[in-house]
Amino acid sequence: MCTHAHNSWRWATTTNRSAEQCSPASWSDSASAGTHPAVALQFHGLWVPPGHPGLHLRRTPHLTGKLPECRPLVGRLRTANEAVDPIPVALNHATRCLDSDEWIAVCDSYRNRTGVGRGDLAADMGVTGAKVIGMLEKTDRRSQSGTESIARVRLRAVGYDVVVQPAVEGVGHTDLRIGKLLLECDSVRHHSSKEDYERDHHRDRRALVDGWIVMRLTYDDILCDWDGVLADIRAITRADRHRARGVKDRAMVQRSVDLSLLGGTVPSDFDT
């Protein structure tokens, strides 16, 4: 059973503030006013992962306190001159606080929203080091949710050839594809509406009828039961059920590739 609270993780930066001022109870009022330290990454509207309880702060060089402090992996600690850091600065300091797949997911969220390239983001972050540059190379601004990003990174890490946001005829874009296996990654624990629920299941049914294998993964599946998810995916791929063997299946997959090319959802040489 998953014990992480949805969106319970917070990461903040602060100048000279007390622990009381930085408590969760004070965030809502202070964030709207813009004069008080707030949750840096989530404050800026980015997806953030659960499972990191507590508030992480970045202080000015001469201040100390009881709350944990975040520092970048490489480079000197930049003086905190603002209540809420710019996103690139917050990302640089979050490299110590997040697992690599989580950090990549947050970067995906930022890149998807802004369209910023990897090179520009690296420059904005300042001194980062080889590990951070390596993680940046794994980011993908096509990703539509944090759960999708984490699933992609983890699957590629174990050797799967994962297609991001493939176009499927009669269905639209799906989250991920491995051969003819479509993976749909729910971004929240519950559907936002009955209409969303019905639309998603209609899409799944349509894809299945056309010959695709559809696996819908819940938020908790990805973040709390990844071993189970991976075991199920391997059960399909070890039996080669995901492979497009026949003429119809090969044509179906090729049509998806062609539609993705037409729709601009394939990696670009300019996505740097």
Q: Give me 255's structure tokens.
A: 């049509």
Residues 72 and 95 sit within 8 Å (Cβ to Cβ): yes
Half-sphere exposure of 156 (CA within 13 A, CB side): 18
pLDDT confidence of residue 98: 85
Indicate the domain borders of the chain: 24-137, 146-263
Alpha-carbon distance 136 to 118, whole Å? Answer: 6
Higher pLDDT, 195 or 127: 195
Q: Does domain 146-263 have CATH number 3.30.470.20?
A: no
Higher pLDDT, 87 or 6: 87
Q: Find the mean pLDDT for residues 40-67.
A: 57
Q: Which of 66-75, 95-104, 122-131, 179-188 has the lowest mean pLDDT?
A: 66-75
Q: What is the mean pLDDT of the chain?
A: 77
State how beta strands 181-185 and 213-217 pair: parallel
pLDDT confidence of residue 97: 79
pLDDT confidence of residue 25: 41
Task: Give the residue among 77, 104, 38 at the shortest CA–CA distance from 69.
Answer: 77
Higher pLDDT, 268 or 176: 176
pLDDT confidence of residue 31: 33
Determine the 3-state secondary structure of 75 from DSSP.
coil
Distances in Å between the Cα of 258 and the Cα atoms of 33, 109, 167, 180, 253 are 48, 26, 8, 15, 9
pLDDT confidence of residue 84: 57
Alpha-carbon distance 164 to 144, whole Å? Answer: 10
Residues 85 and 58 sit within 8 Å (Cβ to Cβ): yes
Q: Find the mean pLDDT for residues 175-193.
A: 87
Which residues sit opposite 184 in a β-bridge?
A: 216
pLDDT confidence of residue 95: 83
Alpha-carbon distance 181 to 160, whole Å? Answer: 12
Residues 133 and 123 sit within 8 Å (Cβ to Cβ): no
